[in-house]
Amino acid sequence: MMAQLLQEHQRLVILRLLHEASGMDLNESILQDGLDAYGLDISRDNLRVQLAWLAEQGMLSLEPVGRSQVARLTVRGEDTARGRARVPGIKRPSAGD
């Protein structure tokens, strides 16, 4: 149960980090650092698992760049990050967030 809560938080923070980025896209390294800044330490392997899951849900698209990936927020992902859409498996933002 705790692992599921952690994943839901990680997924929401990934979407919010992308939403805050000027081009609504970030590479894996910056996303990993951003999650760490929120106290959600994540391995690169686990980050890739979460990014793949979010891509399958239509929240973001992934583009390989060299040995890394760049994630780009979709409209559905933006709606979820802002709390306008609710998706099972992603924490819903709290009021005032």
Count of C-beta atoms within a 10 Å radius of residue 71: 28
**pLDDT confidence of residue 47:** 98
Three-state DSSP class for 45? Answer: helix
**What is the band of 94 on the pLDDT scale with cuts at 50, 70, 90?**
confident
φ and ψ at residue 23, rounded to 5 degrees:
-100, 5
Q: What is the CATH number of domain 2-81?
A: 1.10.10.10
State pTM to two decimals. Answer: 0.94
CA 66 to CA 43: how far, in whole Å?
19
CA 87 to CA 80: how far, in whole Å?
7
Over range 86-94, report the average pLDDT.
Answer: 93
**pLDDT confidence of residue 4:** 94
CA 78 to CA 71: how far, in whole Å?
13
pLDDT tens-digit map of 38-63: 999 999 999 999 999 999 999 999 99
Three-state DSSP class for 68? Answer: strand
Say whether pLDDT at 7 is over 80.
yes
Q: Where are the domains of the chain?
A: 2-81
